[in-house]
Amino acid sequence: MACAIAAPLIIINAQFNVKFSQGMSEGEGTSFSEANRIAADCIQNFKTVATLANERKFVSDYEQSMRRPLQRFARRVHVQGVLYGMSQFIEFGVIGGLFYAGAFFHIEHGGRAQDIFIAIFAMVFGAMSCGQA
């Protein structure tokens, strides 16, 4: 009964985690393209950069090209961190609740603890796979 109640929570949480992980990488490739170009040029032409003693110029150019994307992503990353933490809390809170319910039923009605573990893990992994699919 407890597993049947917890399954929708695990499924919804798994769907959220998949969408969350996809959303993390959106838009990051183009935002850092200028910084990537500067770094690639320096690495490919490291002898020329060292010969002309332009290391400081390229470092300052790289830092300047990183300022705007980092400012733009700072708020988004904090919000995503809080949401991810909440989703992990829900996931492990549900699993903890299932273990608590399993221990309660084990004490009240007997049975084998191994059966409780099998039921909980089968439900959790099945619901996570269903949500991720």
Listed by start position, the domains of the chain span 2-132
pLDDT tens by residue, 56-105: 887 887 788 888 777 777 877 888 888 888 888 888 888 898 888 888 88
Specify the amino acid at residue 25: S
pLDDT bracket for residue 41 (50, 70, 90)? confident
Higher pLDDT, 122 or 71: 122
Cα separation, 63 vs 29, whole angstroms: 17
For the chain, helix, strand, coil in percent to 5 are: 90, 0, 10
Look up the pTM and report it.
Answer: 0.56
Q: How far is CA 33 from the centre of its chain?
A: 23
Cα separation, 11 vs 132, whole angstroms: 8
Residues 105/116, Cβ–Cβ less than 8 Å: yes
